[in-house]
Amino acid sequence: MDPLPPPMPSFSDVLDMVETIPNAEDVERVTVWAKDKYSSESKLEAKVERLEKNLVNSEFKVRNLEENVSSLRLQLNHAQWFERCVMDQDKQLEKAKTDEGILKAEIVNKDEKILELFDKCHEREKTIEEQTQTMIEMMETINSLRKQTAYYEEEITKLLDEKEKMLNEVEEDSDASDDDDDDDDEDSGSDSDDSGSSDSDSNDEPENEVDFWKTQLEGAEALLLLSNKELIESKEQHDKAYKDLELKAENAEKKASEAEAECETLRSRLEDMTYESRVAMEKEKTEKNQILLKLSEETKKAQETAQENKQILLKLSEETKRAQEMEQLQKTEIGLLKKNVSGIQAANRIEMDMIKAGHSGVVTKLTDQIRELHSKCQHIVNSNAANVMRLQEEFVRDLKSKSVELETIQKSEKEQREKRLVSQDKLVAQMEINMQLQKDVIELTRQIQALQAIDDAESAIGVEEQVAVGEDVEIGEEQAFDIDYSSDSSFEPVDEHDL
């Protein structure tokens, strides 16, 4: 490092030194030159002071720029933290997407299970309808057999009553014929043989009549026994068929109760699955709402940080503009200093002329002082210019790097906002799909309940109609049996030739 030049003498000392010059013209010329020189030196000192003040101001601005750089670094750290938060949000979104896929798979599986349960319910309902139909047919046959049995019992009682009546009539007729025979024997004791032969012929007629009635009674008894045997066999068959039908009806009722119990279990399972799906969908909805709230908050924070970054960029642009203006001022001052240097060089030439004139002592001293002052000014100017240029270059580099970083941050924030908007749209669409699926499940359950109610009503109406049809059929069968019995059960007198 170069040693500092010695301080310049004062103007009074210079005047004292000038008075020692013997020539008056030289004294006057040197005095004028010293006045000009010291006036220019005072101007240079003022400029140097101004430059020092500018240097202090530039240092202050540099400190401000360093503070701005530190604030920008803090903002960069905040942006990096925000980027990490966004990455965490992306991970949460991916996790939410995976959970959503799992829920979709569970919903699909539950839908398949619900469809299987619906198919099983339909099959069970069909089997129940078939079993109820067979039960109705069995009950109809049982009722018809009961009615036939009652009808046969009534007919048997009628035949027995007719048999007793006929037996009583035959006994009364036989008693009356015996009394008539006794009276005829007492009245005709004194008759002749001719009259006796005629009486024997008259006695043969009631005996033939008794034999006729006996044969008639035996034929009726034989017919009654045959009809009783047939009735007993038919009753046994009816009882056996009735027992079989009762067993079948009990089995059908048991199967129907089991099917109803199974349908109830299936309905309960369906309700449980529907409830679980609703709970899962509500849970997913709450989680999605929380995620959307977090995303909206982060988006708001990102917008605020972007606004702050914009303000910082505006401030940086203003500082850059001010630095450029300061640089321009410094350039103008450097130009003025160069002009002063050229003036100093002219003074040096004058000094050389003075040296040639013979005033070597004072002029040499003044020349050395002027050169030292010139070197000092040049050193100050060069150091100030180098510092200014260095600071400007560093400031421009930092400004460019920060602008690039801010642009990348803004770009990443824009991409993250777009991704968040897309994810929000997807989440909203998925929520709408889930709500539609829930509505479809509720609608299907309502349709199932409505179909079951309709099937129950139709089955009840079908049973009533079948019972009414069975009663009409039974009435027709009774009328047919009455007609057949009226034609077959009439006990007409049997002809002797037929016997």
Between CA 169 and CA 217 the distance in angstroms is 11
> Which backbone phi and psi does 384 adopt, to 5 degrees?
-65, -45
295-317: pLDDT as tens digits: 777 777 767 776 776 677 677 66
> pLDDT for 33-64, tens place per residue?
777 777 777 777 777 788 778 878 877 877 87
- Asked whether the beta carbons of 30 and 14 are under 8 A apart, the reply is no
Which residues, other chains included, contact 376 with Cβ-Cβ below 8 Å and sequence gap of 6+?
A: 4, 5
What three-state secondary structure class fits 358?
Answer: coil
Question: Are the C-beta atoms of residues 273 and 54 closer than 8 Å to each other?
Answer: no
Rounded CA gap, 432 and 434, in Å? 5
What are the tokens at 210?
């008794």
| Residue 22 confidence class, pLDDT cut points 50, 70, 90 | confident
Residue 86 Cα distances to 82, 94, 238, 274, angstroms: 6, 12, 87, 36
> Per-residue pLDDT for 460 more than 60?
yes
Dist. CA 449–CA 452, nearest whole Å? 5
Residue 244 has pLDDT above 70, yes or no: yes
Q: Is 358 left (phi over 0), alpha (psi -120 to 50) or beta?
A: left
pLDDT value of position 56: 81
Q: What is the pLDDT of residues 174-226, one digit of tens each?
A: 777 666 655 555 555 445 444 444 444 445 555 666 677 667 777 767 777 77
Q: Per-residue DSSP letters for 383-407?
A: HHHHHHHHHHHHHHHHHHHHHHHHH
Give the orientation angle of helix 11-19 with respect to helix 24-187, to 10 degrees: 160
Query: In whole angstroms, what is the distance from residue 331 CA to residue 312 CA?
Result: 28
DSSP letter assigned to residue 7: P
pLDDT 10s digits, 383-438:
666 665 676 677 667 666 766 776 777 777 778 777 777 766 776 676 677 677 76
Looking at 235-239, 296-300, 442-446, 493-497, which range is the least confident one?
493-497
pLDDT of residue 387: 63
Specify burial of residue 4 (Cβ count, 10 A radius: 0-12, 13-18, 19+): exposed
The reported pLDDT for the residue numbered 327 is 65
CB environment 284-320: b (16+ within 10 A), e (fewer) = beebbeebbeebeebbeebeebbeebeebbeebeebe
Q: What is the pLDDT of residue 317?
A: 67
Averaged confidence pLDDT in the chain: 69
DSSP assignment of 280-335? HHHHHHHHHHHHHHHHHHHHHHHHHHHHHHHHHHHHHHHHHHHHHHHHHHHHHHHH
Residue 100: pLDDT band by 50, 70, 90 thresholds? Answer: confident
Q: How far from each other are the two terminal CA atoms of the chain, in whole angstroms?
A: 175
Q: With beta carbons less than 8 A apart as the criterion, state whether 426 and 96 touch.
A: no
| Rounded Cα–Cα distance for residues 301 and 307 (Å) | 10
Dihedral, 286, 288, 290, 296 alpha carbons, nearest 10:
-150
CA distance 276 to 279: 5
Where along the chain do its domains lie?
28-181+207-488
Say whether pLDDT at 75 is over 70: yes
User: Between residues 355 and 84, which one has the greater pLDDT?
Assistant: 84
Residue identified by tokens 């006994």 is: 171
CB 186 within 8 A of CB 212: no
- Tell me the DSSP string of 111-172: HHHHHHHHHHHHHHHHHHHHHHHHHHHHHHHHHHHHHHHHHHHHHHHHHHHHHHHHHHHHHH
Residue 112 pLDDT greater than 70, yes or no: yes
Reported as half-sphere exposure (CB side, CA atoms, 13 A), residue 63 has a value of: 5
